[in-house]
Structure 1
């Protein structure tokens, strides 16, 4: 049995962030990741035999200079040279089979009448629909903003807690407002993992965990290939449903609370095409209204003389690959045979509701004195920075239990 101070299950940005904190504190650390690469919902794709170094995203698309936790990790690992500023082409609205201006969806009179409530209305315990209907007016919310929020969250956002969206944060003025990394967002995940390995963190990819037990103040983990690991402390940096399954044996009360959080399925399809063949104007993205997709995110924010890339985030019930590809081709004004390549990823996202805030508060209370951290995109919000803020807080909680670490 292999023993360490900290076992981390999950190699997405949350798990990588926890590994960074642990190695800084001098803890022996292992990361178990079920897939072949780290990154989780950060997923950059390319096919060099078709389009060389051209890439596109099938998961998270951007970082911002308000992501202070991410930037601190990047700086400590000396990865600032990978930061690549993004331009901001305009977004469009797709309705009734046509691209339209976002501004044309706004009901200005009702918006201006409702907007003063922005300065007095609290988001606390309000859903996205309840809060933004009051500060924008029902007409503008129904016509535009509900679809914009669906696009941001890649799910029906009506019941999502309003205070988990768009937090105000200090900005790093020496960094571009919006950025990616030289070979896409997953570039930073891979580079961070490589740096952490050099610093002594051990990574085990393609290592699914099938059993978790806690006894005699030790965690014991069994993997699909029947290896066993043990540790003083454990971090679950997994989707919430995976965390619930793993905790069901030793922590059934936590597992029950976690199972109250439902998941939303998103079918993400990215295509690379020749630039001169596409009729679609340069866009940052497209918000879907009465369409089978929540959003289309374009690679037009980085100039390429030869190719364009677009990723369609389709709703769960629109999952026929041929139908997806035909819709993409129709929107681009080409045939599916003109795709240079396409790639797919099924993303699972937490579908939080205001009622789940009570569940999360109970989870936090139960974790208080346990040597167990739960991190991911179902606590503070779904952004990369939300995940890393949660990670720092959980590490500090565990650190208080550890006493002297060195």
Structure 2
């Protein structure tokens, strides 16, 4: 009963387990898959490191570097190259370079002169509603339709694989939404807000053997606390909880769920019907990760860069491509170039019902045309994630209220995961640390 049960062995569950371990709190981690880490999946092909899930980690506050050091990976970290500062947007089936500077925005052909003038007029646009609205509606009102179509839409398709006219501004862009209400303009808000100084320099990184090296290192430290079992159901007791697994019954005073929302919905059926229905309603979109390796002599990059993103109105199925050999040259063989092609998302849900080999051929043809590549790749492999990324739709605060209510009514039961903490690996690592810190204070109090 004294052990905390952690359900789910994705990065959220692993980070939670690791923080419990550091805090000296006894625990068991229950995960049905022998290979843990959720959508984090890496492999090595011909001296090239392949990542089928996240391809890089944006470590703003140092939490990933701290975790890496704790699990013995300090010397395995690879910093992203300067190439990541150059990104490309497809317009009229051609690559247009963008860099993070005002001069680039003024000179780029991604949006027209009229579109630029509309975007630059943002400080003079009256502020809109304080209530929640979609990211698309919010930014279209602030910077104009063309800038949203060719700048905002491809970026959010790349991060969330979502529909910008459904995802919530308060969830995705809370700071910008607040600045509009406080200053009447997001540009003026950014200019007038004081930047918080930090001794920690943000870093975009990976590991020498891919992102999975991080999850494997955590598992290696806590393997004696892992149960490879499937969670069947959860029942509340007079004190604590009873968790039924594929191997039996376990009782615990505290349970932390890091299961995907749809999985937790099933195991809570009958325990809390309202919560179960709410969890079931959370939308996840599919993603197809296609990894392609070309012989270097067959490909001529226009210049080094992070890769390219494609606005949906270009009528190209491919969402975008990451030029892994440019941003992490250490991970590729000297005579090869490695690319990650992204397909699926909110606008392409039927991908889960299609023949993956045919989809591969379709997106490879699109990629080859855009990159002016004629030869076939030396190697290609895809992985389809049926429920890859949770979508924070307009009104998602109502979901958060239900989760908060359930925890208040069932002391000792905690809900974590990417649909609670955020979709990125750093979001989940940070959320796990905060949760375990609060549990540690609870235990010390009692």
TM-score, structure 2 as length reference: 0.79
Deviations for 1:349-395, whole angstroms, at most 9, x for unmatched residues?
A: 11221212122123113213521111111124212222233323333
| Matched residue SS, 2:16 | helix
**Uncovered stretches (5+) of structure 2, i.e. residues with no partner:** 99-107, 176-194
The aligned residue for residue 158 of structure 2 is: 151
* Match among 317, 337, 347 for residue 350 of structure 2: 317
The answer to whether the 8 A contact 2:62-2:200 is kept is: no
Equivalences for residues 73-152 of structure 1 within 5 A? 73-89=67-83, 90-102=86-98, 103-106=108-111, 107-115=115-123, 125-152=132-159
Match of 2:378 in 1: 339
Instruction: Name the CA distance, whole Å, in 2 between partners of 1:140 and 1:208.
Output: 47
1:284-303 to 2 correspondences below 5 Å: 284-289=306-311, 290-299=315-324, 300-303=326-329
Which residue of the partner structure matches residue 228 of structure 1? 249
Aligned to 2:205: 179
Alignment match, 2:294: 273
Shift of 1:123: 7.7
Q: Match of 2:262?
A: 241
* Distance in 1 of aligned mates of 2:169 and 2:124: 18
Aligned equivalents of 2:123, 2:208: Cα separation in 1? 40
C-alpha displacement of 1:229: 2.9
Q: How does 1:192-231 map to 2 (within 5 A)?
A: 192-197=218-223, 202-205=225-228, 207-224=229-246, 226-231=247-252
Q: Tell me the distance in 2 between the aligned counterparts of 1:324 and 1:99.
A: 22
TM-score (norm 1): 0.86
* Equivalent in the alignment of 2:7: 9
Deviation of the 1:166 alpha carbon: 6.2
Whether the aligned pair in 2 keeps the contact of 1:44 and 1:55 (CA below 8 Å) is yes
Aligned to 1:351: 391
> Bigger shift: 169-178 or 97-106?
169-178
- Distance in 2, matches of 1:41 and 1:4, equals 31
Q: Equivalents in 1 of 2:238, 2:28: separation in Å?
A: 20
Task: Using the TM superposition, give the Cα deviation of residue 95 of structure 1 relative to its aligned residue in structure 2, in angstroms.
Answer: 4.3
Partner of 2:65: 71
Match for 1:371 among 408, 412, 425?
412
- Number of aligned pairs? 392
Q: Residue 177 and residue 34 in structure 1: after superposition, are their counterparts in 2 closer, same or farther (change >3 A)?
A: same
Contact 2:57 2:204 in 1 (8 A): yes
What whole-Å deviation, never above 9, does each CA across 1:95-153 have from its counterpart, x for those lacking one?
Answer: 454433453223210010015669x7798623211222233222211233112211221
Structure with bigger helix share is 2
For the 8 Å contact 1:220–1:231, the answer to whether it is kept is yes
Q: Equivalents in 2 of 1:123, 1:55: separation in Å?
A: 45
Shift of 1:167: 7.4
Verify the 8 A CA contact 1:260 1:359 in the aligned structure 2: no
Contact 2:265 2:275 (C-alpha < 8 Å) held by counterparts: yes
Cα pair distance change 1:187/1:141, threshold 3 Å: same
Deviations along 1:216-235, one digit per CA (max 9) or x if unpaired, are 323333333x3433322111
Structure 1 unaligned blocks of 5 or more? none
Return closer, same or farther for 1:352/1:84 CA change in 2, 3 Å cut-off: same
Q: Find 1:23's aligned residue among 21, 24, 37.
A: 21
Farther off after superposition, 152-161 or 90-99: 90-99
1:67·1:171 contact (CA, 8 Å) conserved in 2?
A: no
